[in-house]
């Protein structure tokens, strides 16, 4: 195998495929990247038992072939290569990488021991790459981090007609985002692509995938009972699904009679950050609404901070609620709207955050449990 490629293109391809490589593995070949050169294209592939990634880029192929090398070592080499063309060739039991005056040699791993790339599941349809990346980012902040509860570390991916629903919860908060997507035509996916789908994808994997495909135009989505696949612009990746389902959010988000406070997002985020500097441990940030303003306060005894902002409250004369400052900032920071609506039932009750003026039925909603206000 022998090929020539621009150093930037090689680095991008290797970095894309190396994302799925395990940090540690009892199977050495799973730390490898498979390089395949043929027909003016270089294909770089990586996998572990949970995910796979593959990318194809243009290259000047002087000799077709395949080689398996340590992926992270190759990535380290790519990062320090001089700008310009890079020559790669199998030389005996190693891969020679030459860029400018720099030359590197990498030991080859046994190809016979390397597993085959998993097949893609059935295509389901397409979604705008930027919209998908933004939506995943909106809900990922609410995903759990406790691996002992694996279902809560995932993001629900629901498909129902032309609507995609993404949702995540760690039991203390629940984020939901809906967006439009285009289901595949029946002829493109014979196994009823328009049938409703409800699966859970690992949040960390889905976040990485969505970010890496942002700006790619359109993402093709593939799903079956055990895995999800994504493809765009020569990049293809799969990830295993998490068994089980997230609890439904419909009843949780139905607050019944409640008050609504509308205020500007950026000043509120800045004020929460400001007063939270005196909040220690689980000490909450309190928001006291009086109809036209909100008074933020945090801390106890002599170590206190406060700030007042304009806020319009309807549905009650006044309302005081308090939140874990980290959870509140995660929720507020996941929105893009200039104004936010805080739908409040009362102290220690559920609170729903939405884009201001959407009446609580918008495409992006984030539910938080409020805590006991400061005394």
The DSSP line for 226-248 is SEEEEEETTEEEEEEPPSS-PPP
Question: Where a domain ends, among 113, 135, 161?
Answer: 113
Same structural domain, 233 and 266: no
Q: 62-81: per-residue pLDDT in tens?
A: 999 999 999 999 999 999 99
Residue indicated by tokens 């609580």: 360
Q: Which two tokens stand for residue 223?
A: 């799903």
With beta carbons less than 8 A apart as the criterion, state whether 295 and 253 touch. Answer: no
Other Cβ atoms less than 10 A from the Cβ of 232: the count is 22
The string of DSSP codes covering 123-173 is EEEEEEHHHHHHHHHHHHTTS---TTSGGGGEEEEEEETTEEEEEEE-SSE
233 and 157 housed in the same domain: yes
| 7 touches 82 (CB < 8 A) | yes
Claim to verify: residue 181 and residue 199 sit in the same structural domain: yes
Low-confidence ranges of the chain (pLDDT < 70): 186-194, 357-361, 375
Q: Are residues 98 and 132 in the same domain?
A: no
The strands making up 60-63's β-sheet, listed across from edge to edge, are 60-63, 2-6, 85-91, 94-99, 102-107
| pLDDT given at position 27 | 85
Residue 59 structural domain: 2-113
Residues 127 and 203 in one domain: yes
- Do 103 and 6 sit in the same domain of this protein? yes
Cα–Cα distance for residue pair 203/363, rounded to 1 Å: 19
Asked if residue 259 belongs to a domain, the reply is yes
Q: What is the CATH number of the domain that holds 272?
A: 3.10.150.10
Considering 87, 113, 139, which residue would you say is the last residue of a domain? Answer: 113
CA–CA separation, 135 and 344 (whole Å): 24
Q: What is the pLDDT of residue 103?
A: 97
pLDDT at residue 185 in the model = 75
Asked whether residue 107 falls in the same domain as residue 131, the answer is: no
In a domain, 246, yes or no: no
Q: Quick one: pLDDT at residue 187? A: 45
Asked if residue 374 belongs to a domain, the reply is: no
Determine contact, residues 166/177, Cβ cutoff 8 Å.
yes
pLDDT at 142: 97
Place of tokens 């929720």: 331
**CA 174 centroid distance within chain:** 15
DSSP readout, 250-315? HHHH---S-EEEEEEHHHHHHHHHHHGGG--TTPPEEEEE-SSEEEEEEEETTEEEEEEEE-EEES
Number of domains in the chain: 3
- Residue 74's pLDDT is what? 97
141 and 232, same domain (yes or no): yes
Do 133 and 196 lie in one domain? The reply is yes
Domain annotation covers residue 250:
no
The encoded tokens of residue 49 equal 């038992």
191 belongs to a structural domain: yes
Rounded-to-10 torsion of CA 82, 87, 90, 94: -10
């Amino acid at each position: 195998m022998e090929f020539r490629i621009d150093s930037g293109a090689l680095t991008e391809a290797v970095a894309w495929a190396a994302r799925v490589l395990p940090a540690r593995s009892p199977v050495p070949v799973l730390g490898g990247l498979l390089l395949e050169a043929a027909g003016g294209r270089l294909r770089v592939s990586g996998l572990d038992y949970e995910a796979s990634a593959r990318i194809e880029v243009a290259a000047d192929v002087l000799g077709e072939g395949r080689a398996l090398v340590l992926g992270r070592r190759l990535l380290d080499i790519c990062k320090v290569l001089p700008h310009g063309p890079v020559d790669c060739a199998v030389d005996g039991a190693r891969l020679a990488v030459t860029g400018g005056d720099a030359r590197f040699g990498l030991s080859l791993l046994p190809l016979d021991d390397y597993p085959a790339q998993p097949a893609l599941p059935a295509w389901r349809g397409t979604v705008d790459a930027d919209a998908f990346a933004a939506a995943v980012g909106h809900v990922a902040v609410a995903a759990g981090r406790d691996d002992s509860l694996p279902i809560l570390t995932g993001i629900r991916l629901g498909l129902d007609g032309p609507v995609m629903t993404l949702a995540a919860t760690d039991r203390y908060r629940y984020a939901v985002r809906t967006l439009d997507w285009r289901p595949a035509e029946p002829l493109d996916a014979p196994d009823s692509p328009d049938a409703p789908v409800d699966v859970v994808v690992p949040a960390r994997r889905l976040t990485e995938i969505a970010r890496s495909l942002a700006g790619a135009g359109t993402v093709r989505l593939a799903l079956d009972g055990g895995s999800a696949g994504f493809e765009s612009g020569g990049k293809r990746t799969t990830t295993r699904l998490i068994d089980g389902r997230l609890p439904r959010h419909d009843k949780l988000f139905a607050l019944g009679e409640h008050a609504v406070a509308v205020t500007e997002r950026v000043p509120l985020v800045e004020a929460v950050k400001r007063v939270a500097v005196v909040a220690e441990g689980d000490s909450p940030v309190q928001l006291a609404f009086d109809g036209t303003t909100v008074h933020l306060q945090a801390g106890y005894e002599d170590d206190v901070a406060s700030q007042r902002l304009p806020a319009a409250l309807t549905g009650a004369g006044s309302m005081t609620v308090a939140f874990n400052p980290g959870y509140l900032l995660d929720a507020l920071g996941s929105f893009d709207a200039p104004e936010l609506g805080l739908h409040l039932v009362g102290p220690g009750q559920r609170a729903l955050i939405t884009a201001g003026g959407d009446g609580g039925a918008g495409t992006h909603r984030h539910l938080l449990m409020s805590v006991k206000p400061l005394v």
